[in-house]
Amino acid sequence: MKKYFCMVFCILVLLLPGCNKKQTKPNILLITIDTLRRDHLGFYGYPLDTSPFIDQLAKDGVVYKNVVTPLPLTDGSHATILTSLHPLAHQVIRNATSLKDKVETIAEVLKKNGYYTIGTIAAFHLSKKYNFSQGFDSFSDTWDKNIKYNEHWFRIAESVNKSLFEQIDRYLETRKKNEKEKDKPLFIWVHYYDPHTPYVNRKEIVLEPYEKNKKRFPFINYDKEIRYTDENIKKLYGYLEEKGLSKTMLTCITADHGEQLGDHGASAVHHDFYSETTFVPLIFHGYKIPKNKVVEDFVSTMDIAVSLLGRVNLNFEKPGNVHGVNLLDPKGNPKPVPGREFLIIGDPTFVRSIQWLSAPFSYILNFDYMYKQWFVVRGAEKSGLADRLIPVPQGAWREEYLEKSDKVVIDIAYPDILRNGLYFGVLRFDVEKDGGFSVGYRIGPANTKATYSFADKKPGTVTITAIFPVTPLDHLTGMIQRKKETRVANLKYALLTGEEALKYVMNIPGRIEVENRIFTALKTQRKFKTVDELYNLETDSAMIRNMLSGSGGDSPVSPVSPVSPVLKERVVKGKKTIYEFLRFYREENKKILGKPAGDKQLTREEKDMLKSLGYL
C-alpha cells in the first residue's frame, strides 16, 4: 500500500505545473502581406491559383472570413496589428509617421518574457526611422539592391527572405555558443510588399484559368505578385523546417489592407474604405490551433496581437488600453465574438469620411463634397465676424525661417474638431508694416497648400476664409508667409458652421475668390458623394448599391429617394455612434500618449487660454 501511495504521489508531482520538465513556449511567426485582398486568395473563393501554399495552411488552421482593418494604409494598419490599438489611439494615421515609444508592441511584450525577437520589413516607411523596430532584438530594413525588380523604397520577397534567413542564422549561431539563449523561443515578424504597386509582370508564373479567359482578369500582374509572395512564404517554411524551428510554431498570416482594382472608380490605390480595401485575410495555424475551422464573425486586425499573446498566456502590460479582443480560447478554438462595432477611417490626406460598421450594415459619413473655394479680404470688420474671432496666443504660433530665403512662415494650428457636421476655418490678422506677404492654409500633413499673395503692400487687416470641409480627421493650419521686414499682429481665428461661413463670406465687401489648388490636386482620389452611404454587406458584399441613393448606385449626382424609417434610424444611430467612437479614441490617445510635450513650461494663464481653444 505504501509503495502504491508513493507511486501515485510521484505521478501527481510530475503532472503539477512547474514540477515536470520546463515547457518550451512555441515560436511565433507573424506574416503581413501588403495590399492583399482577401477575395484574391483561393481559400476565399478566387478562381485563379494565386495562393496554393497559403490555402493549405488555411485548410489546416482557423480562417476568419470577415476581418476589417480600421485604416487601409500601410503604417497605420501595421501599427494596429503590432499593438492591438485603434489608429486614432496610437496616432499613426498616415504613412511615414513614427510609432511612439509610449505605445507597447507585441515584440516588446514577448522580449520581456523570454523571446528573441526578429523583424524584417519590405517598405521604407516601416523602417527603424519610424520606430517600427520597437521591441526587436534584430531588425532588418536595408536590402540587396542588386536583386531584380528592387526599388529604392521597397524590396521584393526574395530579398526579404534572404535578409531574414541571415538574421536567423546569426541568432542560431549565437544560441549554440550561449547557454542562456538555448531555451529562448523566436518571435518573427516578416512583411512582404509585392502585391503593392507597381505590379510586376512575372512571366515565369502562369495562372490557370487566366490563359483561357484573359478579359476576366485585367489585373493579372497583381495576381502574379500574390503567387510570387505565396511561393516565397513556402520557401520560408522550408527554411524554418530545415532549421528545426517549425515543429512547435504558431503562425498568423494577414494583410494591412486590400486594393481597388477598378472598384468604385479607382485602380491601384487603397485610400478609400469599401470592402475591397478594408477586408483582409486572417489565418491562424500550428501550435494548439485546430484544423479546418472557418469563422463568420466580424473581427478586426486590432485582435491579432492580443490573440497571439493569449496563445502563450501573455498580455499587454496595460490591457485596459488594448482595443482588440482575444479571438481564441485556452484550447485554441475560436471564441464567439458577435455583435461588435468598428470605426474605420480612410487615409485623411485623401479621404475625409468615416465608416461605422455594425454587421451586416456599413454606414459611411461623407464630408467631402460641395466646398472647393476660399476667400481673402481686407477690412473684415464690416463682415460681422468681429464677435466670433478668438485671439491666438503667441504659444500657438509656429514660426519657420525658410532656408535660402528671406521669408518667414507663421503657422497657426486650429484646434481639433469633434462636433457634428462640417466646420470652416477663418484667420484674421493686422499688417502693421507691409514688405510683402501671402496668406493661405494647409490641409493635413502633406506639404500641399493654397496661398494668395498681396501685391499692393498696404498696411491693414487681412482675413482668410477657407471654404473647405474641416472634419474630425483634419488638421487645418492657417499660414502667413511674409518677408522678414513685414510685421503682423493681433492674430485671431474662428471656426464657422457651413451656414455661418456662407453668411459671413457673402457679406464681406471686396472679397477675392481664390482657386483651391489642394482640391484640384487631389480631386481624382477624393470622395465626391452628394449623400452619405449605407450598405447591407449580407446582400451587397461589394458595397455597390447605396441604400440612401435614389439611383441605387454610387453616382455622385444621383437624387435622394425617400428612405424608410428603419434606414433613417440607422443613419441617425450611425452618426451618433461615429462621434462617440471619436471622443472615446481621443481620450484613449490622451491616456496612452499623455499630454502634449512642453505643457509644463506654460503659465497657468497660457494653459487656460490653450484649453479654451481646444489645444490641451
pLDDT in tens, 66-106: 999 999 999 999 999 999 999 999 999 889 899 999 999 99
C-alpha–C-alpha distance, residues 246 and 253, integer Å: 15
Given a cut of 60, whether residue 553 has pLDDT beyond it is no
Q: By mean pLDDT, which of 499-503, 564-568, 612-616 is the weakest?
A: 612-616
Angle separating helix axes 74-83 and 304-311, nearest 10 degrees: 30
Helix and strand totals (H; E) in the chain: 13, 25
C-alpha–C-alpha distance, residues 530 and 590, integer Å: 34
Q: What is the pLDDT of residue 301?
A: 98
Q: What is the pLDDT of residue 367?
A: 75
Sign of the CA dihedral running 208, 213, 217, 219: positive
Q: Which amino acid is at 603?
A: T
The phi, psi pair for 267, rounded to 5°, reads -135, 140
Range 114-126 average pLDDT: 95
For 297, the enclosing helix (H) or strand (E) is: strand 293-300
Percent of the chain at pLDDT above 70?
A: 83
C-alpha cell at 520: 484640384
Given a cut of 50, whether residue 5 has pLDDT beyond it is no
Given a cut of 50, whether residue 13 has pLDDT beyond it is no
With vertex at residue 332, the alpha carbon angle to CA 329 and CA 337, rounded to the nearest 5 degrees, is 45
Q: How many CB atoms lie within 10 A of CB 109?
A: 23
Peptide bond into 70 cis (omega under 30): no
Q: What is the pLDDT of residue 129?
A: 94
Q: What is the pLDDT of residue 601?
A: 53
Q: What is the pLDDT of residue 518?
A: 62
Range 574-579 average pLDDT: 92
Structural domains for the chain: 24-338 (3.40.720.10), 352-366+532-594 (no CATH), 373-522 (2.60.120)
DSSP string, 38-84: GGGSGGGT-SS-S-HHHHHHHHTSEEEEEEE-SS-SHHHHHHHHHH-
Percent of the chain at pLDDT above 90?
A: 48
pTM of the model: 0.85
Q: Using one digit for the tens of pLDDT, what is the confidence trace for 263-280?
A: 988 889 898 889 999 999
Range 551-572 average pLDDT: 63
DSSP string, 523-567: TTTS---SS-EEEETTT-TT----TT-TTSS--TTPPPPP--HHH
Q: What is the pLDDT of residue 180?
A: 72
C-alpha cell at 349: 490626406
Q: By mean pLDDT, which of 100-104, 192-196, 490-494 is the weakest?
A: 490-494
C-alpha cell at 122: 519590405
Range 169-182 average pLDDT: 85
Q: How many CB atoms lie within 10 A of CB 22?
A: 7
Given a cut of 90, whether residue 113 has pLDDT beyond it is yes
- Note whether 200 and 149 are within 8 A (CB): yes
Q: Using one digit for the tens of pLDDT, what is the confidence trace for 454-465?
A: 888 888 888 888
| Strand runs labelled E in 317-422 | 341-345, 353-358, 361-366, 373-378, 390-391, 397-401, 407-413
280 contacts: CB under 8 Å, gap ≥ 6: 36, 37, 38, 67, 68, 69, 254, 255, 256, 257, 258, 301
Q: Using one digit for the tens of pLDDT, what is the confidence trace for 378-397?
A: 876 677 787 888 888 766 77
Given a cut of 70, whether residue 517 has pLDDT beyond it is no
What distance lies between CA 90 and its chain's CA centroid? 10
Identify the residue with better confidence: 423 or 529: 423
| Strand runs labelled E in 48-177 | 62-68, 116-120, 138-140
Given a cut of 50, whether residue 18 has pLDDT beyond it is no
Sign of the CA dihedral running 488, 494, 499, 504: negative
Range 454-477 average pLDDT: 79
Q: What is the pLDDT of residue 476?
A: 76
